[in-house]
């Protein structure tokens, strides 16, 4: 081996050594970078967990407050002894609410569906409850379901439409409110959107709701109308929010719909607070199957006579 | 004929092979300069020689786009990369070179990861480095590099 060859060989060995050193550096650098990324991800995960816990604690406590403010089923039975409430919020907090009260010899039941669900729905529910309580006061001056819902629509519109255009919210509510006078067997019903179903075995009477925009009601452009109905023996009034009929399910993954709901209700045996509620619960769960719950679900059943 | 030359001919581009070493071929077409590496590793010494030559070409031919074809590479020297990013690119930017297109080895995921790691370390060390503000894109071919 001559000296030139030896020099070339030494240069080649030096280049290979440098290449190996560079490879090791690449490896260590990549390893260090991946560790850094992993540490950052772990820190982000912890941070997300902390934020999630903070939010969930708030939501859980808000749910306790909401449940405490909601009337109980037993309270509802003080007003309507033969009744049940099927209440299944989509999330923990509900955008649906029911409310029962008595006033000047009439018994009232309301089912209100505020737009949205979860936290925003729950905030609007507080507004709805406050308005219902105000309307329910003996001296409120509102003496019919349509007067009460008109009052609520006006107040709701006023609360949600401030002078600042940026702060205007486009949320609304749908509701159904009935009043019942036992002596005359007269039921008055005013509904915004969803119908009232009066059901007894083999028979369904459907009373459609008004389909006006809340702003039109609030501004007095339209007037809510009422149904005045004489109740037949054995009839059960069903008040519900659209989470019931809009639930997807069944063999073809379709919406439940009011027609299918009516068919189910008319086939039920005579009303019983617990049995009827349990039957509806089974029916609804079976319809929903593995589908996600679409919305808050609220259905109130009241046997009036 | 190298694959780069073939591509340039197929595209009907006029070009010049301005520099040729065992490590790289350097072409100029229009205001674009293409450096095609030919070996799996370029030593520090050869890397500096090569980039010194590239600097003179950028100045002489008013190059505004540099296509760096690193498909043959399997190992890089991080300090050289640091110099390339923070010194060479900045000097070339002053000469008008502001578009960088890079072609990485195909199927060498760990190489790509190491390149990414190296870039991030440089970014962390030199947050104001002009190289990170330039038009830099990874491409899959010389043709794409010339187009984009």
CA–CA gap between residue A280 and residue A88 (Å, rounded): 12
Residue by residue, pLDDT tens for chain A (305 residues) are: 788 899 999 989 999 999 999 999 999 999 999 999 999 999 999 999 999 999 999 999 999 999 999 999 999 999 999 999 999 999 999 999 999 999 999 999 999 999 877 888 999 999 999 999 999 998 899 999 999 999 999 998 888 877 676 767 777 899 999 999 999 999 999 999 999 999 999 999 999 999 988 889 988 999 999 999 999 999 999 999 999 999 999 999 999 999 999 999 999 999 999 999 999 999 999 999 999 999 999 999 999 98
B43 contact residues in A (CB cutoff 8 A): 15, 18-19
A33 contact residues in B (CB cutoff 8 A): 116-117, 120-121
Do B43 and A32 count as a contact with CB atoms less than 8 A apart?
no
Residue A23: closest C-alpha in chain B: B75
A30 contact residues in B (CB cutoff 8 A): 110, 113-114, 117
pLDDT for res A158: 87
B114 touches chain A (CB under 8 A): yes
B125 touches chain A (CB under 8 A): no
Phi (first) and psi of residue A223, to 5 degrees: -120, 135
Candidates A24, A28, A30, A35, partner chain B, best to mutate (most B CBs within 10 A): A30
A29 contact residues in B (CB cutoff 8 A): 78, 114, 117-118, 121
The sign of the torsion formed by the CA atoms of B20, B25, B27, B32 equals: negative
**B78-122 pLDDT, tens per residue?**
999 999 999 999 999 999 999 999 999 999 898 999 999 999 999
**Residue listed under structure tokens 């970078």:** A33
CA–CA gap between residue A103 and residue A134 (Å, rounded): 12
Question: pLDDT-based confidence at B1, cuts 50/70/90?
Answer: confident
Min Cα separation B62/chain A (Å): 33
Whole-number average pLDDT of chain B? 94
Eight-class DSSP state of B36? E
Residue ranges of A 2-31 with Cβ closer than 8 A to chain B: 15, 18-19, 22-23, 25-27, 29-30
**Region class of A49: left (phi > 0), else alpha (psi between -120 and 50), else beta:** alpha
Give strand ranges (E) for A51-195: 83-88, 96-103, 106-114, 173-181, 186-192
Candidates A8, A11, A19, A37, partner chain B, best to mutate (most B CBs within 10 A): A19
Higher pLDDT, A4 or B57: B57
SS3 label, residue A11: helix
Query: Which of these, B105, B99, B114, lies nearest to B145 by C-alpha position?
Result: B99
With 0-12 / 13-18 / 19 or more C-beta atoms within 10 angstroms meaning exposed / middle / buried, residue A209 is buried
Q: Which two tokens stand for residue A76?
A: 């509802």
Query: Least CB-CB distance to A33: which of B76, B77, B120?
Result: B120
Do B117 and A18 count as a contact with CB atoms less than 8 A apart?
no
**Region class of A78: left (phi > 0), else alpha (psi between -120 and 50), else beta:** alpha
**Residue listed under structure tokens 């209700």:** A265
SS3 label, residue A99: strand
**CA–CA distances in Å: residue A106 to residues A102, A103, A148:** 6, 5, 13
CA–CA gap between residue A35 and residue B53 (Å, rounded): 38
pLDDT for res A146: 96
pLDDT for res A163: 67
Do A26 and B41 count as a contact with CB atoms less than 8 A apart?
no
pLDDT for res A159: 84
A78 touches chain B (CB under 8 A): no
pTM over 0.90: no
pLDDT for res A31: 94
B67 Cβ contact partners less than 8 Å away, ≥ 6 residues apart: B32, B33, B34, B35, B101, B102, B103, B139, B142, B145, B146
**CA–CA distances in Å: residue B46 to residues A111, A243, B23, B86:** 82, 73, 8, 19
Most distant CA pair in chain A, distance? 125
Do A25 and B110 count as a contact with CB atoms less than 8 A apart?
no
User: Do B89 and B130 meet the contact criterion of CB atoms below 8 Å apart?
Assistant: yes
């Amino acid at each position: 081996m001559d000296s030139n060859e030896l020099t070339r060989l030494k240069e080649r060995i030096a280049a290979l050594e440098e290449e190996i050193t560079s490879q090791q550096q690449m490896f260590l650098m990549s390893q260090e970078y991946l560790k850094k990324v992993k540490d950052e991800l772990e820190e982000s995960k912890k941070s997300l967990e902390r934020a999630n816990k903070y939010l969930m604690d708030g939501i859980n406590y808000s749910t306790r407050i909401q449940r405490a403010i909601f009337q109980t089923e037993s309270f509802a039975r003080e007003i309507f002894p033969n009744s049940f409430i099927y209440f299944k919020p989509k999330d923990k907090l509900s955008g649906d609410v029911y409310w029962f009260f008595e006033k000047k010899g009439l018994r009232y039941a309301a089912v209100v569906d505020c737009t949205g669900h979860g936290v925003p729905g729950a905030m609007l529910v507080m507004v709805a409850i406050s308005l219902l309580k105000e309307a329910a006061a003996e001296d409120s001056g509102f003496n019919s379901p349509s007067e009460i819902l008109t009052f609520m629509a006006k107040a709701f519109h006023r609360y949600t439409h401030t002078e600042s255009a940026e702060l205007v919210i486009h949320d609304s509510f749908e509701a159904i409110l009935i009043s019942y006078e036992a002596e005359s067997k007269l039921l008055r019903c005013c509904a915004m959107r969803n119908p009232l179903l009066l059901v007894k075995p083999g028979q369904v009477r459907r009373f459609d709701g008004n389909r006006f925009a809340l702003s039109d009601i609030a501004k007095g452009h339209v007037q809510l109308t009422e149904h005045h109905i004489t109740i037949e023996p054995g009839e059960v009034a069903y008040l519900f929010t659209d989470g019931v009929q809009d639930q997807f399910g069944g063999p073809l993954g379709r919406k439940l719909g009011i027609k299918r709901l009516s068919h189910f209700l008319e086939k039920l045996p005579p009303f019983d607070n617990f049995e009827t509620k349990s039957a509806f619960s089974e029916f609804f769960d079976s319809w929903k199957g593995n589908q996600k719950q679409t919305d808050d679900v609220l259905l109130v059943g009241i046997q009036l006579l | 004929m190298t694959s780069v030359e073939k591509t340039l001919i197929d595209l009907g581009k006029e070009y010049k092979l301005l520099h040729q070493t065992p490590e790289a071929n350097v072409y100029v077409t229009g205001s674009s300069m293409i450096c095609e590496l030919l070996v799996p590793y370029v030593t520090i010494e050869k890397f500096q020689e090569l980039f010194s030559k590239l600097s003179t070409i950028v100045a002489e031919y008013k190059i505004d786009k540099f296509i760096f074809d690193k498909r043959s590479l399997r190992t890089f020297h991080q300090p050289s990369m640091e110099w390339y990013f923070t010194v060479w690119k900045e000097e070339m930017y002053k000469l008008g070179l502001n578009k960088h297109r890079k072609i990485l080895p195909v199927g060498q995921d760990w190489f790509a990861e190491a390149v990414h790691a190296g870039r991030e370390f440089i970014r962390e060390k030199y947050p104001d480095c002009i190289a990170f503000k330039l038009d830099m894109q990874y491409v899959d071919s010389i043709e794409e590099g010339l187009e984009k």
